[in-house]
Amino acid sequence: MTQVITVPPSLDDFSFEQVLDQVAALPADAKLLVDARHVRWASPYGLTALLTLAQTRSERPTLAVPELDETLSYWARAAFFQHAESVYDLTGSYPKRRDSGESNVLLEITPIAKSDDVHDVVGQVQERAQKIIKTELKLESKAIIGFAMTLSEICQNITEHAGRGGWVAVQSYRWTKRLGRRVVVIAVCDAGLGFRRSLESMPGHLPTARWDDAAALEEAVIRGVSRFRERGRGQGLAGARNYVGRWNGKLSVRSGTARISIVPSWDDDVPLAEGLSPFPGAQVQVIIPEAVPGGGSER
């Protein structure tokens, strides 16, 4: 019997938890109909997480596409349908071709599986990010290189640790609801090993008394621990953490049943959320906001 999963009208990292809560109650091999007909807006995280959700199912799920033309058009520009066709059976009518008009999509949804993919992604984003970070976010030019470095390191989290491919998307938009300013957002999602299993594969790993997804995220994101013993490992997420701190941004990493966040003053998220519905792999989001006029963006 097909189980219907209702996608909330506004799909971002928070509301995606509602999707996972519904999925968690079902057996792993249940056939899903992911009903996105009433979705009006989705963040890059929402779109990449939807693709990732399909990768976690043993039975190929069905996705009912949004009904709103504007939403369909944006999802098409973000290359969502192009990739969704490979992991979902799609129902409903949607644009087969991408609209080539002006878009705030810095990087359409792109699969990441190997090192060359990271080169492609960084190369594609660099030129457009330069314009958006300088003119729209009004940040110093130093923020541009840091942005590309952060994107590269987060994508490498997939190639180095996930054990299977994932997705990346980058977009800029005015975040009226939460911030009232423009933001640029990176979302990188995979359905691979996840942080806990990755760290457990470290030679000689001895789990602590409290060893769970939250502890694994603290080890990796806060203490820079990697499954590789080399001293130089674990710098990627540390670099991303420093970057968001410097530009007053937000970093959140979800894995398994926990989410850890570097929370800026403009956000009211918790630093560590535990006991979430399980979701394999790792899902990373970076948000860099527009500088406050007169105040700069640096802390």
Residues found near other proteins in the complex (CB under 8 A): 115-116, 118-119, 122-123, 126, 142, 145-146, 148-149, 152-153, 156, 159-160, 231-233, 235-236, 238-239
User: Residue 183 CB: number of other CB atoms within 10 A?
Assistant: 21
Q: Alpha carbon of 189 to those of 55, 200, 282: distances in Å?
A: 11, 20, 6
Phi-psi region of 13 (alpha: psi -120 to 50; beta: other; left: phi over 0): alpha
Residue 118 C-beta: closest distance to other proteins, Å: 5
Residue 272 C-beta: closest distance to other proteins, Å: 24
Question: Minimum CB separation from other proteins for residue 115, in Å?
Answer: 4
Q: Which is nearer to other proteins, 121 or 258 (CB)?
A: 121
Measured CA to CA, the distance from residue 235 to residue 208 in angstroms comes to 23
Shortest distance, position 223 Cβ to other proteins, whole Å: 13
Work out how close the CB of 142 gets to other proteins at its nearest, in angstroms, rounded to a whole number. Answer: 7
CA distances from 47 to 50, 108, 160, 219 (A): 5, 10, 23, 28
Planar angle of CA 162, 47, 164, nearest 5 degrees: 15
Q: CB-wise, 97 or 231, nearer to other proteins? A: 231
Q: Which is nearer to other proteins, 179 or 238 (CB)?
A: 238
Give the CA radius of gyration of the chain.
18
Measured from the CB atom, the residue of 161 and 254 that comes closer to other proteins is: 161
Angle formed by the axes of helices 44-55 and 80-87, nearest 10°: 20
Whose Cβ is closer to other proteins: residue 11's or residue 262's? 262
